Amino acid sequence: MPMINENISRRGLMLVLSSPSGAGKSTISRKILGRDRNLAMSISATTRPSRPGEVDGKDYIFVGQPEFDKMVETQELLEYATVFGNSYGTPKTPVETALSQGHDVLFDVDWQGTQQLKQNARDDLVSIFILPPSIEELERRLYARAQDSEAVVKGRMAKATSEMSHWAEYDYIIVNHDLDVSVAQVESILAAERLRRDRQIGLSRFIRDLGVRQ
């Protein structure tokens, strides 16, 4: 049985997960997406060339720079950024379509992307920041991830620390001690936010059918 109120139409929400690299965000996202049929990953438009195996419209929407610039100009992007000379952004239309159909959209963006999304979609946004359980554990995971030199890991640590300094801009904070608990925590937040009165746009009608005059 689903964890939403059946027969009451609802506006979807935008779930933002941010974390420093090494805190477990990607694994958590994958697990949740695999278990929740009403949640889909947001697909970014990018100017970067596609890599072997990547599917246009599924992994990314591959566009040329002029097309991307036009999206920026027409305010079709909810957020965008340039990384190593390539542009990435979130087209507004597919997100708006999903939300209006009662579907939820997951975003894997950093603090800058979150700030842009907030400016463009405040009421639909639910933001979660995932922290590592300790600095030692974060260091361990960044080492485990790639067998790189200490200098490289130190650079990653600095980047992680910089990302974490934005924790106070998020609605919810999860400390990822245990993957299964963290997944359950994100799922609880999603379940709760779906039950918020103001997202259940069909409630007025339902209440009227209960014989209550508005």
Interface residues with a second copy (CB under 8 A)?
1, 3, 5-6, 8, 129, 131-132, 134-135, 138, 157, 161, 164-165, 167-168, 170-175, 177-178, 180-181, 184-185, 187-189, 191-193, 195-197, 200, 203, 206-207, 209-214
Q: State the minimum distance, in angstroms, from the CB of residue 172 to a second copy.
A: 5
Q: State the minimum distance, in angstroms, from the CB of residue 61 to a second copy.
A: 32
Q: In whole angstroms, what is the distance from residue 141 CA to residue 51 CA?
A: 27
Q: In whole angstroms, what is the distance from residue 42 CA to residue 78 CA?
A: 11
The residue among 72 and 192 lying less far from a second copy, judged by its C-beta, is 192
Q: In whole angstroms, what is the distance from residue 110 CA to residue 165 CA?
A: 12
The residue among 68 and 111 lying less far from a second copy, judged by its C-beta, is 111
Q: State the minimum distance, in angstroms, from the CB of residue 7 to a second copy.
A: 8
b/e 121-160 (16+ beta carbons within 10 angstroms → b): beebbbbbbbbbeeeeebbebbbeeeeeeeeebeebbeeb
Q: In whole angstroms, what is the distance from residue 211 CA to residue 214 CA?
A: 10
Q: State the minimum distance, in angstroms, from the CB of residue 160 to a second copy.
A: 9
Q: State the minimum distance, in angstroms, from the CB of residue 188 to a second copy.
A: 4
The residue among 5 and 21 lying less far from a second copy, judged by its C-beta, is 5
Q: State the minimum distance, in angstroms, from the CB of residue 33 to a second copy.
A: 18
The residue among 55 and 210 lying less far from a second copy, judged by its C-beta, is 210
- SS3 per-residue string spanning 126-170: EEEEEECCCHHHHHHHHHHHCCCCHHHHHHHHHHHHHHHCCHHHC
The residue among 60 and 170 lying less far from a second copy, judged by its C-beta, is 170
Q: In whole angstroms, what is the distance from residue 214 CA to residue 205 CA?
A: 10
Q: In whole angstroms, what is the distance from residue 126 CA to residue 4 CA?
A: 17
The residue among 68 and 156 lying less far from a second copy, judged by its C-beta, is 156
Task: List 51's β-bridge partners, or say none.
Answer: none
